[in-house]
Structure 1
Amino acid sequence: MFALAWPIIVTELLQVAYNLADTVWLGRLSTDAVAAISLAFPLIFLLISVGGGFTVAGSTLVAQYTGADSEASAGTVAGQTLGFITLIAVVVGVLGFFATDAMLSVLPSSPATAEQVVPMAADYMRIFFLGLPALFGFFVFSALMRGYGNTRAPMAVMFVSVLVNVVIDPVFIFGFESNPLFGMLGASGVEAALFAATGFEGMGIEGAALATVLSRLVATVMGVYIIFYTSAGPNVSPSDFRPRPNVVRKIVRIGVPSAVEQSASALGLIMLTAMVVTFVPEVLAAYGLGNRLVSLIFLPALGLGRATNTIVGQNLGAGKPDRAERAVWMAVKAGSSVMILIGVVAYVFAEPIVGVFIGTGTDAAAQTVAYGADYVRVRAFEFGFIGLLQVVLGAYRGAGNTKTALAFSLFALWFGRIPVVYYLSFVRDFGETGIWIGIAFGQILGAVAAGLWFTRGTWKASVIDRGQATGD
């Protein structure tokens, strides 16, 4: 389990590095730029969640066929998943590009946010949507390799991609005329020479989006090469891309609940953002920054949850449900213990952690840091429960029981977070503190409910017939 989990944790850490790199450099551009990506992310997540849910189906099926020693069927599932999600990525990317203004218009905004933040968010989103196939390409590669049991290859690919992003991100944002990266490196002479040669002044927030897309494209190209030309993952051949209706139906059957789960989570984030955006831009910036930091903190739990997905899938495919259950409880104990420790550290050092990512030296920056620190401190109380929730949801997905995972995700969000946030912030007048408390409460409620349901043991059936290969 830990052999599978630590590369996943590192991969997700590198995944978060994409977002944090944007936050660090855009935080030096303006707090409005940080608020813009905070506003854009839930809307982007809403559309990419459609394809993201189907990667869960690919990972689960590859894991169970691998456990059942059906290498040919694992390769067929991998090929069908790649082809199916590529088509989805193209459609969603085009839809998102043309629907950007309409999506932003549905969010209520304060006058300052509407004038200063919304136009920047639109610029970021359009470029991001045009690059969506590159983004999905790596997601599919990573999921298929994880189901196969190889989590190190995605980690290596992600490392290269993040390295590319870290190098080009500040260049695309600031250009060469006044780039803080060169100042940090003490290379102002090089900066002046490059600007004199190119005249490139940077693209601001659009540059951040373009840098991310190009970096993702590097990862996708590497992932496709590994799938087709190495033995590191499922054995995929060109014939595996020929449409197999029975395989596609199985991918859709397992993937639709996960897609709905992720889409509902995205809609929930939009609802929360719609409430947050009625506050001043500093609160919106703190909310977005806090979410990115919390997503970084959650990585150990997320890694164990995805490792549990693979272990449960392979053991159920091999006809060993008791071994799968033992692995789940081991992961729960380890994940919850680690997350409680991280929660203590995050609570004590919240302000200096948040302060690293905001460096404009203005009153707005100071207010953003204060709001962000409060957010992290409140959410620290939920961290131990997240260890439980992520592992149990991973077990449900590994068993192909994605409807159960959907139910508890919706319960945590729509019966916990959103009603409590609204009640505390707008009925009880807790202001931004009500947002922070409501978000933490929803996760705790979902974790307790999912854990209690798991003890019933009704999740232990596989979704494949052992020894039966996929056919036409």
Structure 2
Amino acid sequence: MHSLTIRDFAPDMREVRALSLLAAPIIMTGMAEMAINATDVVMMGWLGADALAAGLLGSHYYAFSHFFGLGVLAAVAALLAQALGARRRRDVRRIVRRGLWVGTCIAVPAVFVLLSAERVLLWLGQHPQVASDARLYLDTRLYGFLPGMWFLVFAHLLAAHSRPKATMVVTIIAIGINAIGNYLLMFGQFGFPKLGLAGAGISSSIVDSFLALTLAVFILRTRPFKRYFIFYRICRADFARFIEIFKVGLPIAGTILAEAGLFLASTLLIGRIGTAELAGHAVAVQCASIAWMVPYGISQAATVRVGLSAGARSIHGVARSAATALIAGCGFMVLPATLFLIWAHPIASVYLDVDDAANAEAIAFAAAFLVVAAFFQLVDGAQAIASGSLRGLKDTQIPMWLAGFSYWVLGFGAAILFGFYGDYGGVGVWIGLAFGLGAAAILLNWRFVAMVNRLQRDGFS
């Protein structure tokens, strides 16, 4: 064993190729999921402004339960990668089985949360009619929650084997299924009942079921996976794996919800400033979310690549995989940063009609927020990828606290300070977001370096 040097963190072409082949389909899958959501928004808008407001409120309410499940089940990817890296094939079957049971256990309370949506939304001060219409959507949308959780487990199994293309293909197909389902069920075409928002919920649930069923069939019929006999004796107890998934996954869910909560809180803060600022904020968040899909996909690939090396007890592989992902992610984020900085106003104009004088103020605010967003693109990518690399090491509890401190103590505190006491308004809130993401990038990457040093002391070679 020898000390790590800067050369151990230098990416080589084999690692670049492996990361690219894994990350590209994951990124495309994320983009396809965004396209499905965008289709829902557009077609809800065809029902009218009130239906759109209720549908968006319902989908955001659903998203928080989904993000929780997504975070917990992210542990499956890390555990599978380490098992494969250590060549423990039998553990793969056990982890996937317990992952399916964990997803089922998450779905049970989630359904009750979704059934309580109207009362919760009224308690939060939403308009009674909007809350009632949101419930119509969620009452049918909840049927897709359980298959959605199973789909995540199957997708992690494919990604851990560096076979994410099947997930990408079925998700792209699902865009069309969702659009057709919305058209038939929301608007009552070709003899189907006109169900409005309830039809959108049914369509989304059908899509989730299609995704889970298709990947299950693919796994059962494809050579690298059918040897695991995933569904054979699936009810066999394995509480150790069950608890391990929750132990690793709950902090991941906490981190995801903390970041999502920060952006939700920023929306509420800007909503207190003004309507034009809020419209501009919506545009800027949408643009930043699209750009973020690339480092998010790379971070998921980093979880697998780092996990494989950790399972093989290769400290050099861990360092090289993480460094390659970090360089790739930050390198890409230079592109949206440049676009936001140079073309902020034209980008904002894509979302709002420049010929309508009433939109002029909102466009100006959106452009200003995009300029601030340009400056935190690199750190946003860096913190996402560092988090993914740490998951590959099954290190999730300390990163959750570091991220939570960065987002809510530093980021949210700075947003209030600059936005309301510094008299910067909405721009000040966005400066706070940048501050929080930057702090998370520094602390999470520091944590990863500390973990690499610890692994080396523990005998990784």
- The aligned runs of 1:30-429 (5 Å cut-off) are 36=54, 39-98=57-116, 100-107=117-124, 114=127, 120-174=133-187, 198=191, 203=196, 205-233=197-225, 235=228, 236-278=230-272, 283-284=277-278, 286-357=280-351, 369-429=363-423
SS in 2 for 1:132: helix
Distance 1:314 1:22 in 2: 37
Pick closer, same or farther for the CA change 1:343–1:284 going to 2, 3 Å: same
Distance 1:60 1:453, change over 3 A: closer
Query: Which string of whole-angstrom CA distances, capped at 9 and with x for unpartnered residues, describes residues 205-232 of structure 1?
Result: 4444443222222111112222333335
Give the structure, 1 or 2, with the largest relative contact order (CA under 8 Å, sep 6 or more). Answer: 1
Q: 1:449 to 1:16 in 2, by over 3 A?
A: same
* Aligned-partner residue type, residue 95 of structure 1: V
C-alpha change, 1:304 and 1:199, in structure 2 (3 Å) is closer
CA deviation map 1:286-334 (0-9, x unaligned): 5445433322211221121111100110111112121110121122112
* 2:450 partner SS: coil
CA–CA distance in structure 1, aligned partners of residues 175 and 353 of structure 2: 22
Hey, what's the Cα distance between the residues in 2 that align with 1:36 and 1:420? Answer: 32
- Per-residue CA shift, 1:420-447, capped at 9, x if unaligned? 2223333344333333332232212211
Percent identity, aligned pairs only, is 24
Tell me if the contact between 1:28 and 1:360 (Cα under 8 Å) persists in the aligned partners: no
Cα offsets for 1:7-31 (capped at 9, x unmatched): 1111111121122223344456556
Decide which moves more: 416-425 or 25-34: 25-34
AA aligned to 2:269 is M
The alpha-carbon distance between structure 1 residues 351 and 231, as it changes in their structure 2 partners (threshold 3 A), is: farther
Aligned residues of 1:75 and 1:240 also touching (Cα < 8 A): no
SS of the residue 1:401 aligns to:
coil
CA distance in 2, matches of 1:428, 1:37: 36
- Partner Cα distance (1:403, 1:432) in 2: 33
Shift of 1:364: 6.5
Other-structure match for 1:182: none
Structure-2 change in CA distance of 1:342 and 1:232 (3 Å): farther
Change (3 A) 1:169 1:358: farther
Determine the C-alpha separation between the residues in 2 that align with 1:271 and 1:284: 12
CA pair 381-415 structure 1, distance change in 2 beyond 3 A: same
Query: Alpha-carbon deviations, 1:56-91, whole Å to 9, x = none?
Result: 221111111111112121111111111221232133
CA distance in 2, matches of 1:138, 1:364: 44
The answer as to whether partners of 2:333 and 2:381 remain within 8 angstroms in 1 is yes
Q: For residues 342-382 of structure 1, what are the alpha-carbon distances to aligned partners after superposition, in whole Å with 9 as ceiling and x for unaligned?
A: 22123333444455456799776666555444433321221
| TM-score, scaled to structure 2 | 0.83
**Cα–Cα, structure 1 residues 104 and 223, in superposed 2: closer, same or farther, change >3 Å?**
same
CA RMSD of aligned residues (A): 3.3
In structure 2, relative to structure 1, the CA distance for the partners of 1:265 and 1:389 (3 Å cut) is closer
Equivalent residue number for residue 7 of structure 2: none
TM-score, scaled to structure 1: 0.81
Taking the aligned partners of 2:353 and 2:224, their CA distance within structure 1 comes to 43
Deviates more, 1:278-287 or 1:132-141: 278-287
Aligned pair in 2 of structure 1 residues 170, 72: CA closer, same or farther (>3 Å)?
same
Contact 1:60 1:397 in 2 (8 A): yes
Q: Is the 8 A contact 1:264 1:410 kept in 2?
A: yes
Q: Give the secondary-structure state (helix, strand or coil) at the position aligned to 1:265.
A: helix
Structure 2 distance, partners of 1:12, 1:3, is 15
1:455 deviates by 2.7
What amino acid is the match of 2:410? G
What code does the residue aligned with 1:229 have?
A: R
Query: What whole-Å deviation, never above 9, does each CA across 1:126-147 have from its counterpart, x for those lacking one?
Result: 4433432232232222123222
1:90 partner letter: V
Instruction: Name 2:38's counterpart in structure 1.
Output: 20
- 8 Å CA contact retained: 2:30, 2:293: yes
For residues 141 and 362 of structure 1, what CA distance do their matches in structure 2 show?
A: 47
Q: Distance in 2 between matches of 1:287 and 1:173?
A: 29
Against the structure 1 CA distance between its residues 117 and 225, is the aligned structure 2 distance closer, same or farther, given a 3 Å change threshold? same
Indicate if the aligned counterparts of 1:282 and 1:364 stay in contact, CA closer than 8 A: no
The more displaced of 334-343 and 239-248 is 239-248
Tell me how far apart the structure 2 counterparts of residues 341 and 265 of structure 1 sit (CA, whole Å). 23
Most deviating of 73-82 and 347-356? 347-356
| Structure 2: distance between partners of 1:290 and 1:206 | 30
- Partner amino acid for 2:449? T
Letter in 2 for 1:239: R
Rate the CA distance shift 1:108–1:238 in 2: closer, same or farther, 3 A: same
Structure 2 vs 1, CA of residues 240 and 213 (structure 1 numbering), >3 Å: closer, same or farther?
closer
Q: Which residue is equivalent to 2:4?
A: none
| Residues in 1 aligned to 2:235 and 2:364: alpha-carbon distance in whole angstroms | 52
Q: Secondary structure at the match of 1:454?
A: helix
SS at match of 1:238: coil
From the two aligned structures, give the one with the greater helix fraction: 2
Letter aligned with residue 133 of structure 1: L
Task: Kindly state the Cα deviation for residue 418 of structure 1 after the two structures are TM-superposed.
Answer: 1.8
Instruction: Write out per-residue CA displacement over residues 100-154 of structure 1, whole angstroms, 9 at most, x where no aligned residue.
Output: 1233235457xxxx47865554444444334322322322221232223222121
Q: Which residue of 1 aligns with 2:445?
A: 451
